[in-house]
């Protein structure tokens, strides 16, 4: 059942993204930003952690989870260190993902050349 729930949640996010791309003049970069902010907002109101517990990988593999992690890191930093921790804790939960994305992008750029 967990595979079905992950497929349902991930598919719902993809469906919303495709509807936005097909019916508006927004670019994929705009939609990425919208989903990141949406993930942070859903985390703020307490829905995203419930979505993760229901959908598992279907919710954690989406770009909206990046917004969730940004919010969670800021929230945790604020409670541990106050206002300065709000700024410093932003990347504490998602730093590994950012560093690995940069490293893998560099490695793939070494082996693959873009087409003209």
Q: pTM for this structure?
A: 0.81
User: What are phi and psi for residue 99, nearest 5 degrees?
Assistant: -65, -45
Predicted local distance difference test score (pLDDT) of residue 11:
94
The structural domain count of the chain equals 1
**116 pLDDT exceeds 70?**
no
Domain containing residue 9 = 2-111
- The 8-class DSSP code of residue 27 comes to -
Kindly report, residue by residue over 71-105, the tens digit of the pLDDT: 999 999 999 888 888 888 888 888 888 899 899 99
- Domain assignment present for residue 116? The answer is no
Cα separation values, 78 from 20, 72, 81, 84, 111, Å: 34, 10, 5, 7, 42
- Domain assignment present for residue 40? The answer is yes
Overall residue count recorded for the chain in this entry: 116
Kindly report, residue by residue over 31-66, the tens digit of the pLDDT: 999 999 999 999 999 999 999 999 999 898 888 999
Helix runs in 1-116, H state only: 2-23, 28-44, 48-55, 57-60, 64-81, 83-88, 95-111
């Amino acid at each position: 059942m967990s595979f079905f729930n992950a497929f349902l949640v991930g598919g719902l996010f993809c469906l919303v993204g495709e509807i936005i791309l097909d019916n508006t003049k927004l670019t994929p970069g705009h939609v990425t930003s919208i989903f990141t902010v949406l993930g942070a907002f859903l985390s703020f109101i307490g829905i995203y952690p419930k979505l993760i517990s229901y959908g598992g990988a279907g919710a954690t593999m989406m770009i909206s989870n990046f917004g969730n992690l940004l919010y969670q890191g800021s929230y945790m930093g604020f409670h541990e260190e106050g206002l300065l921790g709000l700024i410093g804790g932003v990347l504490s939960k998602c730093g590994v993902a950012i560093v690995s994305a940069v490293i893998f992008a560099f490695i793939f750029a070494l082996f693959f050349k873009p087409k003209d």
